[in-house]
């Protein structure tokens, strides 16, 4: 049998408590680093993924996940039987969910307007299905709530995480 897995690296879910620069007052560390990586030539484009959105409400989480699908960099990894695969291979997987089911499930998680916008995105049917599964897993597991709590009470310097 084939096992598909997805690794999501949520990063730090808030603005710094003690900002070191003006940028850190309005942008999270991950977003600031995107500009630095672009300037240094480490990435070809800035990821639209923002960890703060991932730790937000369902609509914000959906926006964050869509950004991860479009520019995953190393924050969203796809594997088949434990082997790292190019994210483009994921787009070709057959997936049994009907678009009406996806729309209904997303409407329950977010709202009708956001679900309709999502359905008209450039994501493939398979990507939409997988994104919905990831969103449902995040919502039902409450893992992001737990992680945010740990981040808020942690004495660990955020730059060492």
105-118 average pLDDT score = 88
pLDDT higher than threshold 50 for residue 161: no
Mean pLDDT to the nearest integer, 77-86: 89
Please tell me the total number of residues recorded for the chain in this structure. Answer: 161
Query: Does the global pTM surpass 0.75?
Result: yes
Q: By 3-state DSSP, what share of the chain in percent is helix, strand and coil, each rounded to 5?
A: 55, 10, 40
Q: Are 111 and 63 in contact (CB under 8 A)?
A: no
Task: Please enumerate in sequence order all residues whose Cβ is within 8 A of that of 8, keeping only pairs 6 or more positions apart, or say none.
Answer: 68, 75, 76, 134
Average pLDDT over residues 55-59: 92
pLDDT for position 99: 85
pLDDT at 21: 79
């Amino acid at each position: 049998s084939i096992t598909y897995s997805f690794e999501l690296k949520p990063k730090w879910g808030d603005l710094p408590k003690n900002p070191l620069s003006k940028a850190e007052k309005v942008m999270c560390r991950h977003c600031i680093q995107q500009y630095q990586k672009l300037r240094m030539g480490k990435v070809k484009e800035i990821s639209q993924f923002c960890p703060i959105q991932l730790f937000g409400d369902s609509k914000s989480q959906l926006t964050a996940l869509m950004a991860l699908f479009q520019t995953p960099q190393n924050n969203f990894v796809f594997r088949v039987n434990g082997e790292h695969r190019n994210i483009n291979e994921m787009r070709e997987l057959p997936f049994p969910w009907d678009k009406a089911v996806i729309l209904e499930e997303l409407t329950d998680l977010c709202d009708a307007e956001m679900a309709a916008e999502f359905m008209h995105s450039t994501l493939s049917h398979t990507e939409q299905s997988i994104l919905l599964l990831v969103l449902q897993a995040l919502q039902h597991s409450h893992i992001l709530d737990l992680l945010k709590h740990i981040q808020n009470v942690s004495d660990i310097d955020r730059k060492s995480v």
